[in-house]
Amino acid sequence: MFDTLDAALTDCRDRLIRAPRERKSPLHTPVIVTADVDARVMVLRAFDASAWRLRLHTDTRAPKAAAIAADPRIAVLFYDKGAKIQIRARGTGAILRTGPEVDAAWNASTNFARRCYLGDGPGAGSDAPTSGLPPEFEGVEPDDAQLIPARENFALLRITLTALDWLYLTHTGHVRAQFNRAGAGEDAAEWEGRWVSP
């Protein structure tokens, strides 16, 4: 089944292509780890297979935005329990606040989703349990005019992958491959892979 490095790398790519499109995919919500050793589950919104880039949505006020600005190294953990495939990835992150890609992602979101950027920033203290939303938007979809202030808090987290660690768990003996590439985007080198002991 996975007897060549090309097959293992293709498996990584194909799973990442499907993950943003299939809400029930186990890879749809990976664990994102920033260089400050903080981890969180996020929703994978898009994967650019030619550049090996992940796209996620974030709040500009979130602590991870400052952490990524200070040190762009990021790790990503994907796990498909049913397929018994784990993909650990490393790369560099960037917080994009403006530009056509950010505008397109904002415009593609529903008003109900955009309302998350109206309230208090992530990590803001509270004396009681809170969603952080202004009370008038609890369970209520704001209109376009009410969402104008939310746009400045919306950003994309773009992660360009530079290393993959693919693990297939099987009763006959686990199989593991690692892949690395230098550079990023169109300047990136081809993936170089090797088999390693699990």
Torsion angle defined by CA atoms of residues 53, 54, 55 and 58, in that order, rounded to the nearest 10 degrees? -120
pLDDT at 165 over 80: yes
Tell me which of 140 and 177 has the higher pLDDT.
177
State the amino acid at position 54 in one-letter form.
L
Instruction: Assess contact for 120 and 138: CB atoms under 8 A.
Output: no
* d(C-alpha 53, C-alpha 76), whole Å: 12
- pLDDT at residue 157 in the model: 98
pLDDT at 189 over 80: no
**pTM tops 0.85, yes or no:** yes
Backbone φ and ψ of 195, nearest 5°: -80, 140
Instruction: Assess contact for 73 and 90: CB atoms under 8 A.
Output: yes
- Domain 5-113+153-196 matching CATH 3.30.470.20: the answer reads no
Task: Please state, for a pLDDT cut of 90, what percent of the chain lies above it.
Answer: 90
pLDDT band at 2 (very low <50, low <70, confident <90, very high): confident
For 162-180, the DSSP string reads EEEEEEE--TT--EEEEEE
pLDDT band at 186 (very low <50, low <70, confident <90, very high): low
Tens digits of per-residue pLDDT, 76-109? Answer: 999 999 999 999 999 999 999 999 999 999 999 9
- pLDDT at residue 180 in the model: 97
Task: Please state, for a pLDDT cut of 70, what percent of the chain lies above it.
Answer: 97
**Per-residue buried b or exposed e for 25-62, using 16+ beta carbons within 10 Å of the residue's own CB:** bbbbebebbbeeeeeeebebbbbeeeebbbbbbbbbbb
Average pLDDT of the residues of the chain: 94
Region 152-173: mean pLDDT is: 96
